Structure 1
Amino acid sequence: MTAELHTLTGAYAVDAVPAEEAAAFKRHLRGCPACGQEVRELRETAARLGAALPAAPPPRLREATLTQIAQTRQWPPLVTAARRTPTAKKPPMRVALWGAAAAAAGALVFGLVTANTEPGTDPAQQQLASVNSVLTAPDASTVKGAVPGKTTVVTSRSQGKVVVLAGELPPLAPGKAYQVWLIGKSGVRSAGLLADDGPHRTRPVLADLPGGIDRVGITAEPAGGSPAPTVPAVVMVNLV
C-alpha cells in the first residue's frame, strides 16, 4: 500500500483522487518528506500553469511545421505482427497513467521555464509568487467545492492566507461580476472580485485569512462589487 501511495503525488497535488485515498495519502505525507516536497513542487507548477500568460508563436513556426509535415511519412509500412511471449505483469493502471502525466507535466514545465515566469517587479508575477507560496505551504489545506465549477480553496493558517481558484461558473448578466466572500462567526467580508483571465478562466483570488473563517462563498454582484452579499451564493465551500 505504501509503495502505491508514492505514485499519488501528482494526482493529489491537483485534487484528482477520491476522498478516501486523499485521506490515506495525507496521513502518508506526515512520514514521507520526499512525497511532501514533490507535492509542493507540483502544486507550484500547477499554479504557474494556471496563471501563465499565453505567448504568440514565432511567425515562421507554422511554415516550418507544414514543411516538416510534407516531408514526413504519415503511415508506417505494413508488416506482419510478430507474436510476443508474455513476460512480466503489466504495471498498475494508476502507475501507467501517472507516468504519462509526468511526461506531459515535464514538457509543460519546460515551456514555463523558457517563458521566464520568475517573480520580478511585475505586479502579476509578484501576485503569482504569493499564490505559489500559499499553495506550496507545508500546512496548505485544499478543499474542493461541489458543482457548479468545482471551485477549489487552498488555505495556509501559518501564513494567514487563502487562495480561491474558481471553476467554470454560470455566465453573468451584463453589469454583473462574481465576488468572493470569507464567512465566519465574526461575519462576512469581501475577498475581492473574480477577474477574467481568458475564455472560461478567472485569475486566482488571494486574500488574508482572519481567524474563525469557516466558509468561502461566491455571489453575482454589481460590476463594482458590494459591501455585503446581495443575493444567494452561487458557490459555497466549507473549510472544515
Structure 2
Amino acid sequence: MTAELHTLTGAYALDAVSRAERAEFERHLGECTACRQEVAELQATGARLGVAAAVNPPPELKLVVLADVARTRQLPPKVPVALDGKARAKTWQLRTALFGAAAAAVVAVVFGVTRAPAPVDSVLSAPDASAIQGVGEGHATLVVSRSRHQAVLLASELPALDAGHVYQVWLIGTGGARSAGLMTPAASQRMLVADLPADVDRIGITVEPAGGSAGPTTPAVTRIALV
C-alpha cells in the first residue's frame, strides 16, 4: 500500500474519486482501521452539513415546472406506430400530465398569489389531473381535476397593468361567468386555486378595475377551454 492512499479519505467520503481510485481505496479500507474510522466520521459530518443546509421546496414549484412542460415540445416516441389526430393529442396530454406530476421535487420561485396554495398538491396528485394550455396574452396553464372539483391556474408574462386595474379570473359555463378571484398586478408569475363547478367548460382572464367586478367588463385577454 502506498502512503498516498491514506490521503483519499476526504475525497472518498464525498464521492469525489474516480472509479479506479474507488476500487483501490476500498481494497485499502479492508486493511486499514484508521482510514475506515476517518471515512465514517467524514461521511457523518457531511450528512449533518447537508441536512443543516436543506430547504424544503414550496408546492408552487410543481406548477412552474408543469407550465414549462406544457409549453415545451417533447420528443416523439421511438416506435414506428402511426397515430391519428385524436390518439396523438391524447398521448401528448397524458405525457404532459405525468411529467408534471413527477416534477414534484425540484426547487421553486416565489409567486404573488391572492389565494392560498394549500390545495395545489391535492389537485396535482389527483388521478384525473390534466394540464391545459391557454391562448391569448402571456402564458397560462390550467391543471384540472374534475374528481376533486378544483383547478389550479398558473399565468406568466401577462402585460403589466397600472395601479387602477387588476386581472380577474372567470369560471364560465351554463350558469354564466363567476369570479374565481383576482391576480396580483405586480407579480411576474401568478397562481390561483379555485373550486370548479361541474358546468364550467372554459376559463377567461379579463382586465378589470382595481377591486374586481361583479361580471366581466372587457373581452378576455387569455382563454382556456376545458377538454
Counterpart position of 2:206: 219
Question: Are 1:193 and 2:182 matched, yes or no?
Answer: yes
Counterpart position of 1:23: 90
Tell me by how many angstroms 1:28 deviates: 7.2
Superposed CA RMSD: 3.3
Partner of 1:216: helix, strand, or coil?
strand
Counterpart position of 1:208: 195
Unaligned runs of 5+ in 2: 1-64, 77-84
Unaligned runs of 5+ in 1: 1-9, 30-34, 54-123
Q: Which amino acid aligns with 1:212?
A: D
Partner of 1:229: helix, strand, or coil?
coil
Cα deviation, 1:146-202, whole Å, max 9, x if unaligned, reads 24212111110111001111121112133100000000111110000012574x222
Partner of 2:211: helix, strand, or coil?
coil
Counterpart position of 1:14: 69
Contact 2:93 2:130 in 1 (8 A): no
Counterpart position of 2:138: 149
- TM-score if structure 2 supplies the norm length? 0.56
Tell me by how many angstroms 1:127 deviates: 3.1
The alpha-carbon distance between structure 1 residues 26 and 227, as it changes in their structure 2 partners (threshold 3 A), is closer
Counterpart position of 2:22: none
Q: Distance in 1 between matches of 2:120 and 2:95?
A: 25
Q: Aligned to 1:49, which of 108, 119, 142?
A: 108
Contact 2:206 2:221 in 1 (8 A): yes
Tell me by how many angstroms 1:226 deviates: 0.6
Q: Distance in 2 between matches of 1:173 and 1:28?
A: 39
Tell me by how many angstroms 1:23 deviates: 3.0
Cα deviation, 1:179-230, whole Å, max 9, x if unaligned, reads 00000111110000012574x222x111100011111000111110111011
Question: Are 1:129 and 2:188 matched, yes or no?
Answer: no
Q: Distance in 2 between matches of 1:12 and 1:178?
A: 19
Contact 2:167 2:205 in 1 (8 A): yes
Q: Which amino acid aligns with 2:101?
A: R
Question: Are 1:176 and 2:185 matched, yes or no?
Answer: no
Q: Distance in 2 between matches of 1:239 and 1:50?
A: 27
Q: Which amino acid aligns with 2:174?
A: K
Partner of 1:165: helix, strand, or coil?
strand
Partner of 1:14: helix, strand, or coil?
helix
Q: Distance in 1 between matches of 2:205 and 2:171?
A: 9
Alignment of 1:91-130 (within 5 A): 127-130=116-119
Q: Distance in 1 between matches of 2:142 and 2:73?
A: 16
Tell me by how many angstroms 1:138 deviates: 1.5
User: Which is richer in strand?
Assistant: 2
Larger radius of gyration: 2
Q: Distance in 1 between matches of 2:117 and 2:162?
A: 29
Contact 2:169 2:205 in 1 (8 A): yes
Q: Distance in 2 between matches of 1:236 and 1:131?
A: 21
The alpha-carbon distance between structure 1 residues 13 and 211, as it changes in their structure 2 partners (threshold 3 A), is same
The alpha-carbon distance between structure 1 residues 39 and 137, as it changes in their structure 2 partners (threshold 3 A), is same
The alignment of Structure 1 onto Structure 2 pairs a total of residues equal to 150
The alpha-carbon distance between structure 1 residues 39 and 237, as it changes in their structure 2 partners (threshold 3 A), is closer
Partner of 1:24: helix, strand, or coil?
helix
Q: Distance in 2 between matches of 1:135 and 1:234?
A: 26
- TM-score if structure 1 supplies the norm length? 0.53
Counterpart position of 2:101: 40
Contact 1:148 1:167 in 2 (8 A): no
Contact 1:168 1:201 in 2 (8 A): yes
Contact 1:51 1:128 in 2 (8 A): no
